[in-house]
Structure 1
């Protein structure tokens, strides 16, 4: 497995991974599929802010991706980011998430980030386990803040201090 920066040309493979979760789960609060063009724009926007967007691949196939985005827009938040990790649904539980997330965290350290925050739609035992294996600690729990698939969804936040 190789981990490398994502390019806008990877948007189709990334959108295919993400849109599975949009259509079939409450893991993301988006309700409409993301087009390849929109995904390419998201990748380009993230890279333009000097934040990492990485992907894991093997034999030319994208296995998953991870990226960081601004936590909030105000200037004082500039050293904090929100992390996002998605794996191809057929590849979960195969040891891809941890090295991919570790590469993202390493990339954030080189950019002088201080805090990484991961939001998790609950319940999601696999994501909680990944975050906690990476050293994140639960810092917040918001009840019934999302509504998808005819139900209310809680969101928990896990945080990792990098410095």
Structure 2
């Protein structure tokens, strides 16, 4: 079931996210976040943008949210989207369900452009974004350094008014 995030979800969300911090290059954070810090992030973003969780039984197995793309005022109709799943929940369609709902809420809020930043290579994330009509618009070479290697980042964009979700 997809539902709106609650502050009480911070611990489970932090656990999901911290797996990626410690074991992958999909996030450029290198230090695990505390439950309190995740709670602060939820409060800050959820007051302005959609933040959703996928719950099965009483367990959160994935989440997706939107956040500010850039802080300058002319960017006010552009938003960044993010999705994370528990490792064992990948490749089961849950990311697609979360992303579909997130994009519908973003559209309903009147945003125009959605940006997805993807550390490369990441075939699963690229496939998810392109499934929803995102187009690759940029790639920055070696802009991140994690686990003793340089990482490229690609940007995919969806003009939400031009595509049906």
TM-score when scaled to structure 1? 0.97
Instruction: State the alpha-carbon separation in 2 of the partners of residues 129 and 138 from structure 1.
Output: 11
Per the alignment, residue 34 of structure 2 pairs with: 35
Instruction: State the alpha-carbon separation in 2 of the partners of residues 41 and 108 from structure 1.
Output: 21
Describe the SS at the equivalent of 1:62.
strand
TM-score when scaled to structure 2? 0.96
Q: Supply the RMSD in Å over aligned alpha carbons.
A: 0.6
Per the alignment, residue 145 of structure 1 pairs with: 143
> What is the Cα deviation at residue 51 of structure 1?
0.3
1:56 matches 2:61: no
1:68 to 66, 69, 84: 66
Aligned length: 161
Runs of 4+ residues deviating >2 angstroms: none
1:44 matches 2:43: yes
Unpaired runs of 5+ residues, structure 2, are none
Per the alignment, residue 4 of structure 1 pairs with: 3
Instruction: State the alpha-carbon separation in 1 of the partners of residues 159 and 84 from structure 2.
Output: 21
